Amino acid sequence: KAGVTQTPRYLIKTRGQQVTLSCSPISGHRSVSWYQQTPGQGLQFLFEYFSETQRNKGNFPGRFSGRQFSNSRSEMNVSTLELGDSALYLCASSWTSPGTDTQYFGPGTRLTVL
Partner 1 sequence: GENVEQHPSTLSVQEGDSAVIKCTYSDSASNYFPWYKQELGKRPQLIIDIRSNVGEKKDQRIAVTLNKTAKHFSLHITETQPEDSAVYFCAASMGGNEKLTFGTGTRLTIIP
> Can residue 95 be called a binding residue for partner 1 (CB under 8 A)?
no
Q: Using the 8-state DSSP alphabet, how is residue 83 labeled?
A: G
Return the DSSP state at 96.
S
| Per-residue binding letters, 28-67, with partner 1 (x by CB under 8 A) | -----x-x----xxxxxx--x-x----xx-x---------
Instruction: Decide whether 13 or 30 has the Cβ nearer to partner 1.
Output: 30
* DSSP strands (E only) in the chain: 5-7, 10-13, 19-24, 31-38, 42-50, 53-57, 64-68, 74-78, 87-94, 104-105, 109-113
For partner 1, how many residues bind (rule: CB under 8 A)? 26
CB of 107 to partner 1, least distance (A): 5
**Among 25, 26, 66, 108, which residue interacts with partner 1 (rule: CB under 8 A)?**
108
**Residue 8 near partner 1 by CB under 8 A:** no
By CB under 8 A, tell whether 98 contacts partner 1.
Answer: yes
Contact criterion met (CB below 8 Å) for 103 and 4: no
